Amino acid sequence: MRLEIIGNIESVKNSTNLLIIKTPEATARVWVYSDSIIRVNVSKAFDETDTSFAVIQNPAGQVEYSESADEIVVNTSLLKLRISKSPLRFDFYTADGKELSKDDERFGINWQGERVINYRKLYPDEKFIGLGEKTGNLDKRGDSFTNWNTDAALHDTKTDPLYKTFPFFIGIHSGLTYGLFFDNTHKSYFDFGATTDEQMSWFGADGGDMNYYFFGAQSVAKIIEDYTWLTGRMEMPPLWSLGYQQCRWSYMSAAEVLDIAARFRKEKIPADVMYCDIDYMDGFKIFTWNKETFPNPKSFIAKLKAMNFRLVTIVDPGIKIEDGYKQYDEGVDKDYFAKYPNGENYTADVWPGHCHFPDFFRDDVREWWGSAFIALTEPGVEGFWNDMNEPAAWGQNIPWLVKFGDKFMPEVRNAYGMQMARATYEGTRKLLGNKRPFVLTRAAYAGTQRYSAVWTGDNSAYDEHMLMGQRIVSSLGITGMSFVGVDIGGFTGDPTPELMVRWNSLGVYTPMFRNHAMQGTIMREPWQWGKKSMAIIKKDIELRYRLLPYIYSGFYQSHKTGIPLSRTLAIDYTHDENVYNVKYHNQFLFGDSILVAPVESTRLTADVYLPAGEWYRSGRDEKYSGGQVYNVGAPLTDLPVFIKAGAIIPMQNVEQSTNEKGNGILELNVWYGGEVSGFVYYEDDGTSYDYENGDYHKREITFDPVKRTITFSEVEGTFKSNFSKIEVVLHGFEALAGKQKQAKRLKQFENLSVSFTIEF
């Protein structure tokens, strides 16, 4: 194997919006995307079409740079990229000269055959967060990872790779932050000081270009904003998908699904969504219904709707080889399947038996796939679950010579699931008219947030898995995926009642709240765990529904800025060492101001680290000062949840589903804090795209402890709030000077759309 390390610059050319730098080995290109984003591409065979599955932005324009005998310096108002000429190396600094990240002086970028690697300097105190769906610690220093989308059934807390590829990480050192997105869909590798002698970190891929975007903003939040500006942000999810979701592999008939739904209503446990896993189909043929067990999909779904439930159905990519089956015949006819280089369709075995696989990399195939959903939308399905799209087949690796689009499998495998989710989203959005589809995918690549929610695949029913699942949810948040869930209760194995209760209580604070379990496991619905457990599960699900106005506003934030709903503490408390301590690294902020500390089901007390500031224990309003560890009670009825001082949390009354009207009162909870604080409240119809045309209701709510006021800004947007009244509930105001008995609930206010102020 030949090793080539990139050498000296031969020429530099300034083109319209990029610098082109040649060495004997390759050509390097440098673009500026914004003041805080610079792109570097080093290639032996640059493809001028320069397409990306992830990136939706274009370079900003002319690259500003200066050149001397030794180096080229690219400047933006925030960043300085020093490119040394002999040999070619890329070193990034803040505009005022602080070193953010540089190539390893000795090895820089190099090739071993097609494999391209970038060795970079490792800083003594450097930490690494990101890469999305990865096992291991929050701080990935000392670990290495591979991206190769895999059906990782039975994975444990060490398994790698899993189902998804997000080649984006954030480095933290010397009080500084930077981000790096390696946009390359080949099998890729990241090593955060695992295999080197504390000198280098490195990343690379089996082929393609050394193609990365460097983010230089000096806050993790701003880096996430920049990354999601580059790769896109989620749309507003349908409100119903934020309610409780009940799934199982499988509810075997329409009658069974309806029974389960009716039982939720009978027990008065709020819920919004039922699922059909693979057994609703006829012989696992996608876009069909089993005629015996689901004889009349339309009336079945109408009955569900009458109970205020929506239905999500699963689809896998494998199309059964069977003459007379519509999707098969059409696919063969139009040549829509992935192929061997001689033109034969690639075949593999999965649930339906022998299958072909749609080539989602082609526009016409995505269009075809998307329009086939009429078989599901016509009877009334509104949610579409994309499984097995790594793609997975029984015990088989896809041969490397199979072609997708004009590329061979190894080049694009990591983007297959994303392109399936894209086809599903684009097709169902069209079919549903002005209604928002809910799309859920297992495999994904950077940018998937534009099309779909994700879940973390087949987890297991034990405590360690629950805790790791939370880390993965927060880690996916760093890489742009806000709408994320895990199988609550654990997919494989049977949870103890305690674990079920505990996991469900964490589900309240999981962006997607779905209970799901594998074939052959004990039934999982809330009433299967005995009266006492059911009562706790019910209360927690009720809390989820009470929090929906806060949660929906949190998703609006993700939609607008990319900041995830589930936030590792590394986002807001980046330079606080305790955040990375494995004792506390599962903790997270849910939205702006709810801190959650996941705790095993076997422990009834927990050490919780509260970062700087003041905190209140939720439900008890006891006050804690931050920057300390507390040992707190953690009974199954009361997961340790803390509210940040100054928090403004809008809540509503308990409803049995998001389809209910509610009592029309928005309960605005305010926790006393020493500083001015604010909250952006957002509401819309929850189902349509009218918000894109200004039909929403948004206002800023500000708490001011000095003026002793809570101010509501004027409403922006045309949507009329579902709440006619606002009731303010004060927490921690008792000690305020001058008022002996501070009322907890202030009288209700009309929810006017003009600005108004409340005094306390």
Active site residues: 387, 390, 458
Q: Binding of ligand MIG at residue 172 (CB under 6 A)?
A: no
Nearer Cβ to ligand MIG, position 316 or 542? 316
DSSP 127: E
Helix 548-561 with 531-546: angle, nearest 10 deg: 50
* Residue 354: strand, helix, or coil: strand
Nearer Cβ to ligand MIG, position 162 or 278? 278
**Greatest extent of the chain over all pairs of C-alpha atoms, in Å:** 85
Return the closest-CA partner of residue 32 out of 84, 79, 83. Answer: 79
Return the closest-CA partner of residue 228 out of 426, 414, 483, 412. Answer: 483
- State how far the Cα of 586 lies from the Cα of 157, in Å rounded to an integer: 13
**Nearest approach, Cβ of residue 151 and ligand MIG (Å):** 7
**Nearest approach, Cβ of residue 488 and ligand MIG (Å):** 12
**Nearest approach, Cβ of residue 657 and ligand MIG (Å):** 23
Which positions from 385 through 404 interact with ligand MIG, judged by CB under 6 A?
A: 387-388
- State how far the Cα of 174 lies from the Cα of 152, in Å rounded to an integer: 37
Which positions from 302 through 321 interact with ligand MIG, judged by CB under 6 A?
A: 314
Query: Binding mask 123-142 vs ligand MIG (x if CB under 6 A, - otherwise)?
Result: --------------------
Nearer Cβ to ligand MIG, position 190 or 351? 351
* Residue 65: strand, helix, or coil: strand
Which positions from 733 through 752 interact with ligand MIG, judged by CB under 6 A?
A: none
Instruction: Write the CA distances from 21 to 18, 377, 435, integer angstroms.
Output: 10, 52, 49
Nearer Cβ to ligand MIG, position 150 or 327? 150
DSSP 522: P
DSSP 237: P
- State how far the Cα of 207 lies from the Cα of 303, in Å rounded to an integer: 52
Nearer Cβ to ligand MIG, position 126 or 387? 387
**Nearest approach, Cβ of residue 280 and ligand MIG (Å):** 11
Which positions from 461 through 520 interact with ligand MIG, judged by CB under 6 A?
A: 516
**Nearest approach, Cβ of residue 457 and ligand MIG (Å):** 5
If phi > 0 it is left, if psi is from -120 to 50 it is alpha, else beta; for residue 174 that is left
Interacting residue with ligand MIG among 109, 217, 223, 278 (CB under 6 A): 278
Interacting residue with ligand MIG among 126, 143, 209, 277 (CB under 6 A): 277
**Nearest approach, Cβ of residue 448 and ligand MIG (Å):** 16
Nearer Cβ to ligand MIG, position 314 or 710? 314
One-character DSSP codes across 202-235: EEEESSS-EEEEEE--SSHHHHHHHHHHHH--PP
Interacting residue with ligand MIG among 249, 300, 384, 609 (CB under 6 A): 249
Q: Binding of ligand MIG at residue 458 (CB under 6 A)?
A: yes
Nearer Cβ to ligand MIG, position 209 or 487? 487
**Nearest approach, Cβ of residue 227 and ligand MIG (Å):** 27
- State how far the Cα of 468 lies from the Cα of 436, in Å rounded to an integer: 31
Strands 444-445 and 403-404: unpaired
* 8 A C-beta contact, residue 305 and residue 391: no
Nearer Cβ to ligand MIG, position 202 or 462? 462
- State how far the Cα of 343 lies from the Cα of 361, in Å rounded to an integer: 16
Residue nearest to ligand MIG (CB): 249
* 8 A C-beta contact, residue 241 and residue 487: no
Nearer Cβ to ligand MIG, position 18 or 162? 162
Q: In the structure encoding, which two tokens stand for residue 628, read together?
A: 């300390």
Nearer Cβ to ligand MIG, position 9 or 276? 276
Q: In the structure encoding, which two tokens stand for residue 740, read together?
A: 């002996």
Return the closest-CA partner of residue 488 out of 520, 522, 465, 454. Answer: 465
**Nearest approach, Cβ of residue 715 and ligand MIG (Å):** 41
DSSP 338: -
Helix (H) or strand (E) run with residue 364 in it? helix 363-372
Query: Binding mask 369-388 vs ligand MIG (x if CB under 6 A, - otherwise)?
Result: ------------------xx
Instruction: Write the CA distances from 627 to 127, 365, 395, 573, integer angstroms.
Output: 20, 55, 50, 11
Interacting residue with ligand MIG among 87, 391, 457, 477 (CB under 6 A): 457
Instruction: Write the CA distances from 589 to 179, 473, 573, 597, 710, integer angstroms.
Output: 21, 12, 11, 9, 23
- State how far the Cα of 309 lies from the Cα of 305, in Å rounded to an integer: 5
Nearer Cβ to ligand MIG, position 284 or 550? 284
Number of residues that bind ligand MIG (CB under 6 A): 10
* 8 A C-beta contact, residue 355 and residue 344: no
**Nearest approach, Cβ of residue 388 and ligand MIG (Å):** 6
Return the closest-CA partner of residue 436 out of 620, 630, 608, 691. Answer: 691
If phi > 0 it is left, if psi is from -120 to 50 it is alpha, else beta; for residue 208 that is left
* 8 A C-beta contact, residue 515 and residue 249: no
**Nearest approach, Cβ of residue 164 and ligand MIG (Å):** 12
Which positions from 663 through 722 interact with ligand MIG, judged by CB under 6 A?
A: none
Q: In the structure encoding, which two tokens stand for residue 186, read together?
A: 């080949």
**Nearest approach, Cβ of residue 581 and ligand MIG (Å):** 32
Q: Binding of ligand MIG at residue 244 (CB under 6 A)?
A: no
Residues found near ligand MIG in the complex (CB under 6 A): 249, 277-278, 314, 387-388, 442, 457-458, 516
